[in-house]
């Protein structure tokens, strides 16, 4: 077996990205001051505001890296990194556009029919069109090749039947990029017979049922397809080529700053309070946390650099996601241990609110986007250990 080395190149922020950071910070400060949003933990996966997303689109901060000829802004991955990083740090309500901007848009640009691309992409860039990911099913999660939701060929298109599960944000989305079985499973070629489709979630036969999480919030769904008709031109890429596409999406899905900044708002608020507490334990805990964030950020930025080169760093992304999501759990546990009792027991104020939401949401961090056990298996194989 050939062993590929992991690459995390050192990346220097270009001047344009440094200037942009100030612009984004100013926008966020104004929005917050004007009541445009209240900061939330895990904002990219639980704070949905189409109105806010439209404002982000108007600023030119969606589809930033996409080619201008398709309606994008032709900017660098590092500039996009700065925007996403600042939005996460502020706990802004970015959920509506997050998936479309991160991974569905690039897939549509690369694989959709030109007229479908031209219809959808400018709307994503404007913050007026949102997408969900339809990979997992009731009996298919880690073993994604076993998906059973079927698309059967009919006149002029495909008839879809089955159920997708945990579809984040589908209740507020226009389209789902959906992995479907287009020919029967073959145990000898498990990754074949799968295709990706762009499904309009307003189509007859689609029903979306919200699933409440442990805190009672609905942010993911069960999406059912009953004889849903999808026109031929809404197949993404080649029929049967779905697996390769899904794998290509994972570097975008797993490497970004959302994997270690979901609870940053909790840290920020805790720091405001703890800065006056000079105890040795507090200093030690905060020092460890900051050192880990810096390391993870350096690795995640390295991946943004690789994306800028045109690479598809799935393995590096798996390594970052594994380390980053474990860190997110550790961060909240450590903060709980040093925060004063009156904060832990309080039901009012920003810090108690983001801490509570962070604690309720963080167990999902090591599951969504691929579990850590599965990521470790991939990494071990890459290192030639399995």
Ligand X SMILES: Cc1cc2nc3c(=O)[nH]c(=O)nc-3n(C[C@H](O)[C@H](O)[C@H](O)COP(=O)(O)OP(=O)(O)OC[C@H]3O[C@@H](n4cnc5c(N)ncnc54)[C@H](O)[C@@H]3O)c2cc1C
Catalytic residues: 253
364 is a site residue for ligand X (CB under 6 A)? yes
**110-to-70, 239, 294, 379 alpha-carbon distances in Å:** 11, 15, 33, 27
Nearest to residue 64, comparing CAs of 54, 55, 75, 53? 75
For ligand X, the closer CB: 146 or 279: 146
Size of the site for ligand X (CB under 6 A): 19
Give the residue closest to ligand X by C-beta.
141
133 is a site residue for ligand X (CB under 6 A)? yes
Shortest Cβ 372–ligand X spacing (Å): 7
Considering only the stretches 7-15, 55-63, 130-138, 273-281, report the one whose residues sit in contact with ligand X under the rule CB under 6 A: 130-138
For ligand X, the closer CB: 142 or 312: 142
Among 65, 76, 84, 136, binds ligand X (CB under 6 A): 136
Among 377, 378, 379, 383, binds ligand X (CB under 6 A): 377
For ligand X, the closer CB: 312 or 371: 371
Each as own residue / partner, the long-range contacts of residues 207-215 (CB below 8 Å, 24 or more positions apart, any chain) are 208/167, 208/170, 208/171, 210/171, 211/166, 213/360, 213/361, 213/364, 214/360, 214/363, 215/356, 215/357, 215/360, 215/361
Shortest Cβ 93–ligand X spacing (Å): 17
For ligand X, the closer CB: 75 or 111: 111
335 is a site residue for ligand X (CB under 6 A)? no
Among 13, 126, 211, 374, binds ligand X (CB under 6 A): 374
Nearest to residue 44, comparing CAs of 88, 103, 77, 83? 88
For ligand X, the closer CB: 45 or 299: 45
DSSP assignment string, 48-116: B-HHHHHHHHHTT-SSTTS-GGGT-----HHHHHHHHHHHHHHT--BHHHHHIIIIIHHHHHHHS-HHH
Check if the beta carbon of residue 119 is closer than 8 Å to that of residue 71.
no
What string marks each residue from 146 to 185 as x (binds ligand X by CB under 6 A) or -? --------------------xxx-----------------
DSSP assignment string, 333-355: HHHHHHS-HHHHH--SSHHHHHH
Among 127, 256, 257, 370, binds ligand X (CB under 6 A): 370
DSSP assignment string, 126-158: TT---EEEE--BTTBSS-GGG---EEEEETTEE
368 is a site residue for ligand X (CB under 6 A)? yes
Q: Could you tell me which residues come within 8 angstroms of residue 53 by beta carbon, excluding any fewer than 6 positions away? A: 62, 93, 94, 96, 97, 127, 130
For ligand X, the closer CB: 86 or 137: 137
Shortest Cβ 166–ligand X spacing (Å): 3
End-to-end CA distance of the chain: 10
Check if the beta carbon of residue 332 is closer than 8 Å to that of residue 270.
no
Dihedrals φ, ψ of 163, to 5°?
Answer: -135, 135
For ligand X, the closer CB: 113 or 217: 217
Helices (H), 126-263: 242-254, 258-261
135 is a site residue for ligand X (CB under 6 A)? yes
Shortest Cβ 37–ligand X spacing (Å): 21
293 is a site residue for ligand X (CB under 6 A)? no
265 is a site residue for ligand X (CB under 6 A)? no
Residue in the block written with tokens 């105890």: 279
What string marks each residue from 193 to 232 as x (binds ligand X by CB under 6 A) or -? ---------------------------x------------
Considering only the stretches 57-65, 136-144, 190-198, 245-253, report the one whose residues sit in contact with ligand X under the rule CB under 6 A: 136-144
List residues near ligand X by CB under 6 A.
132-136, 141-142, 166-168, 220, 364, 367-368, 370-371, 373-374, 377
């Amino acid at each position: 077996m050939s062993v590929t080395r992991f690459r995390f190149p050192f990346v220097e922020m270009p001047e344009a990205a440094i200037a942009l950071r100030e612009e984004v910070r100013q926008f966020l400060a104004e929005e917050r001051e004007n009541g445009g949003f209240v900061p939330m933990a895990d904002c990219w996966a639980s704070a949905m505001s189409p109105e806010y997303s439209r404002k982000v689109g108007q600023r030119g901060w969606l589809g930033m890296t996409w080619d201008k000829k398709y309606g994008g802004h032709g900017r660098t991955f590092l500039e996009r990194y700065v925007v996403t990083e600042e939005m996460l740090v502020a706990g802004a309500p970015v959920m509506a556009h997050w998936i479309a901007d991160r991974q569905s848009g690039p897939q549509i640009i690369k694989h959709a029919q030109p007229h479908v691309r031209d219809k959808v992409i400018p709307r994503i860039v404007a913050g007026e069109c949102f997408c969900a990911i339809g990979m997992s099913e009731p009996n298919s999660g880690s073993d994604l090749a076993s998906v059973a939701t079927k698309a059967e060929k009919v006149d002029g298109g495909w008839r879809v039947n089955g159920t997708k599960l945990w579809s984040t944000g589908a209740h507020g989305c226009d389209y789902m990029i959906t992995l479907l079985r287009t020919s029967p499973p073959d145990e000898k070629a498990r990754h074949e017979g799968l295709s990706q489709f762009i499904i309009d979630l307003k189509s007859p036969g689609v029903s979306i049922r919200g699933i409440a999480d442990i805190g009672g919030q609905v942010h993911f769904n069960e999406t059912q397809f009953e004889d849903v008709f999808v026109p031929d031109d809404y197949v993404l890429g080649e029929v049967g080529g779905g697996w390769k596409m899904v794998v290509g999406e994972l570097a975008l899905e797993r490497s970004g700053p959302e994997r270690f900044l979901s609870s940053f708002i909790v840290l920020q608020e805790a720091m405001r309070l703890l800065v006056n507490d000079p105890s040795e334990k507090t200093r030690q805990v905060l020092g460890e946390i900051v050192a880990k964030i810096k390391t993870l950020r350096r690795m995640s930025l390295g991946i943004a650099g690789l994306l800028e080169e045109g690479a598809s760093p799935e393995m590096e992304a798996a390594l970052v996601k594994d380390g980053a999501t474990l860190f997110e759990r550790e961060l909240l546990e450590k903060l709980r241990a040093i925060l004063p009792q009156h904060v832990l027991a309080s039901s009012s104020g920003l810090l108690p609110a983001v801490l509570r939401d962070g604690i309720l949401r963080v167990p999902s961090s090591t599951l969504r986007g691929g579990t850590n056990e599965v990521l470790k298996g991939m990494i071990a194989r890459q290192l030639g250990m399995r």
